[in-house]
């Protein structure tokens, strides 16, 4: 098997962890990233090939690489941003994904792995939510991700490549760079006496440690033989936002923090007050999360405050 792979968005939180995981397995790694949100310092540049590429540019200007797999992670990472900017998810998610599909065809890359999101379910009425459930879209981010999936599936059914699509819950763990834990830590470092929490604190979410998630991505995509398939990746556990805040405060040795809740049952327009995915399909491949949500949250806080992170130093 060709041991060369391409990772788009490889300098980001999930991408950089994927780079390290695949290096351990002996793959030669090519990373495409424009560093708009990723950080080149996340990458072992002496062990990989890095290309500073804006994937919105024509795909036929990108370097030609005969890889066996392309892991397409590059995307707009701000779920909330689409409310103010109606083009960012179209440009950074859907149009970029079409470019990556066409590039894969041109270079005969036969395995396409895509990072989708639980946001494609909008606000479902079945929990845990299975892959077959269809919901109204509540955010342009979710709408763009389900549109990306549709394009990838169509290309797969044309016979160009096998595709494996993963719908993720929120990721946590080493290298964490944005999201609710990051926001809480940043706010508490600025003012340790109070914490503003978007929503009413009762929003229930599932979280997945990045090591567990990538174990699923790598192994399931290699052993799955369907032309095009979709897998939920999440945790059997859930946690409400207030309890998450309690863990962050405890990990930072803060015990007199006043919580100030802003808004109703959701943190922002497009936010779902309950996210819990059915992962039976993924676990049928022998995968399961090994790190509890609480342990991963604590590890994430420790990372953010460590010298490795440097985000608040």
Return the CATH number at 98: 3.40.50.720
| Whether residue 221 is found in the same domain as residue 193 | no
State the residue range of the domain holding 289.
172-206+237-304
Question: What letter does residue 160 receive in the DSSP assignment?
Answer: S
Query: What mean pLDDT, rounded, does the chain reach?
Result: 95
| Whether residue 55 is found in the same domain as residue 133 | yes
**Which residue, chain included where needed, has tokens 């799955």?**
224
Read off the pLDDT band of 93 (50, 70, 90). very high
- Assessment of whether the complete model's pTM goes beyond 0.85: yes
The answer to whether position 310 is within a domain reads no
Main-chain phi, psi angles of 257, to 5 degrees? -90, 130
Integer CA distances (angstroms), 96 to 6, 93, 289, 309, in order: 15, 5, 30, 29
State the average pLDDT over residues 48-58.
98
Burial 185-202 (b: 16+ CB within 10 A, else e): bebbeeeeeebebbbbbe
203 pLDDT above the threshold of 70: yes
| Whether residue 136 is found in the same domain as residue 263 | no
Beta bridge partners of 204: 240, 274
State the average pLDDT over residues 49-61.
98
What DSSP string runs through 211-256?
A: HHHHHHHHHHHHH--SSEEEEEE--S--EEHHHHHHHHHHHTT---
| Whether residue 43 is found in the same domain as residue 85 | yes
Instruction: Note the pLDDT tens digit of each residue in 130-162.
Output: 999 988 999 999 999 999 999 999 999 999 999
* Predicted pLDDT at 311: 76
User: Among 301, 308, 303, 297, which residue's Cα sits nearest to residue 42?
Assistant: 308
Burial class of 46 by CB neighbour count within 10 A (0 to 12, 13 to 18, 19+): exposed
268 pLDDT above the threshold of 80: no
pLDDT over 70 percentage in the chain: 99
What is the rounded (10 degree) CA torsion for 168, 172, 177, 183? 100
Element spanning 98, H or E? helix 96-106
The answer to whether position 311 is within a domain reads no
2 pLDDT above the threshold of 70: no
| Whether residue 150 is found in the same domain as residue 190 | no
State the average pLDDT over residues 81-96.
94
Main-chain phi, psi angles of 205, to 5 degrees? -130, 160
| Whether residue 123 is found in the same domain as residue 212 | yes
* Predicted pLDDT at 313: 62
| Whether residue 107 is found in the same domain as residue 225 | yes
Give the span between the Cα atoms of 80 and 140, in whole angstroms.
Answer: 9
| Whether residue 108 is found in the same domain as residue 199 | no
| Whether residue 89 is found in the same domain as residue 137 | yes
Read off the pLDDT band of 301 (50, 70, 90). very high
| Whether residue 53 is found in the same domain as residue 159 | yes
| Whether residue 31 is found in the same domain as residue 167 | yes
Element spanning 116, H or E? strand 111-117
SS3 content of the chain, % helix, strand, coil (to 5): 35, 20, 45
* Predicted pLDDT at 1: 46
* Predicted pLDDT at 77: 85
Instruction: Note the pLDDT tens digit of each residue in 99-133.
Output: 999 999 999 999 999 999 999 999 999 999 999 99
| Whether residue 26 is found in the same domain as residue 155 | yes
């Amino acid at each position: 098997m060709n041991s060369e792979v391409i990772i788009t968005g490889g300098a980001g939180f999930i991408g950089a962890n994927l780079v390290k995981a695949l290096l351990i397995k002996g793959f030669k790694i090519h990373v495409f990233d424009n560093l708009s949100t990723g950080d080149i310092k996340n990458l072992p540049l002496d062990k990989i090939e890095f290309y500073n590429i804006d994937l919105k540019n024509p795909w036929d200007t990108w370097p030609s690489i005969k890889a066996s797999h392309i892991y397409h992670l590059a995307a707009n990472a701000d779920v909330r941003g689409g409310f103010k900017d109606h083009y960012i998810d179209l440009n950074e998610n859907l149009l970029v994904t079409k470019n990556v599909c066409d590039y894969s065809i041109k270079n005969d890359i036969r395995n396409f792995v895509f990072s989708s999101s639980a946001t494609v379910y909008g606000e479902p009425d079945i929990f845990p939510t299975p892959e077959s459930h269809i919901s109204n879209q509540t955010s342009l981010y979710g709408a763009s991700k389900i549109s990306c999936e549709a394009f990838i599936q169509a290309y797969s059914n044309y016979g160009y490549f096998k595709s494996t699509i993963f719908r993720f819950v929120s990721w946590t763990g080493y290298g964490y760079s944005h999201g609710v834990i990051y926001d809480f830590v940043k706010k508490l470092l600025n003012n340790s006496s109070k914490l503003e929490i978007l929503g009413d604190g009762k929003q229930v979410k599932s979280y997945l440690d990045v090591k567990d998630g990538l174990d699923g991505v790598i192994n399931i995509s290699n052993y799955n033989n369907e032309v095009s398939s979709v897998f939920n990746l999440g945790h059997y556990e859930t946690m409400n936002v207030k309890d998450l805040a309690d863990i962050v405060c405890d990990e930072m040795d803060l015990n007199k923090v006043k919580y100030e809740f802003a808004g109703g049952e959701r943190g922002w327009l497009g936010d779902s007050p309950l996210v819990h995915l059915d992962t039976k399909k993924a676990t049928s491949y022998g995968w399961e999360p090994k790190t509890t949500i609480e342990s991963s949250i604590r590890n994430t806080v420790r990372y953010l405050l460590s010298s490795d992170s440097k985000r608040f130093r």
